[in-house]
Amino acid sequence: MTISIGMIARHGQGLYHYKDTGSLYKGSWVNGVMESTGEYIHSNHSYRGNFVDSKPRGAGKYVFSNGCEQHGEYSQAGQWIPKCVTGGMMWTPGPDASGGEKEAAENGAES
Is residue 106 within 8 Å of residue 86, measured between CB atoms? no
Sign of the torsion angle spanned by Cα atoms 19, 49, 99, 97 = positive
- Tell me the CATH number for domain 12-106: 2.20.110
Domain assignments of the chain as residue spans, ordered by start: 12-106
pLDDT in tens, the chain (111 residues): 444 456 678 889 999 999 999 999 999 999 999 999 999 999 999 999 999 999 999 999 999 988 889 999 998 778 888 888 777 555 566 555 544 443 433 444 443
C-alpha–C-alpha distance, residues 77 and 94, integer Å:
12
Report pLDDT for 97.
53
Report pLDDT for 77.
74
| DSSP-assigned letters across all residues of 82-108 | EEEEESS------S-GGGHHHHHHHTT
Q: What is the value of pTM for the model shown?
A: 0.67
Strands in 31-88 per DSSP E:
33-41, 45-52, 55-64, 69-74, 80-86
Report pLDDT for 101.
41
For residue 107, the 8-state DSSP code is: T
Virtual torsion, Cα 32, 22, 62, 13, nearest 10 deg: 30
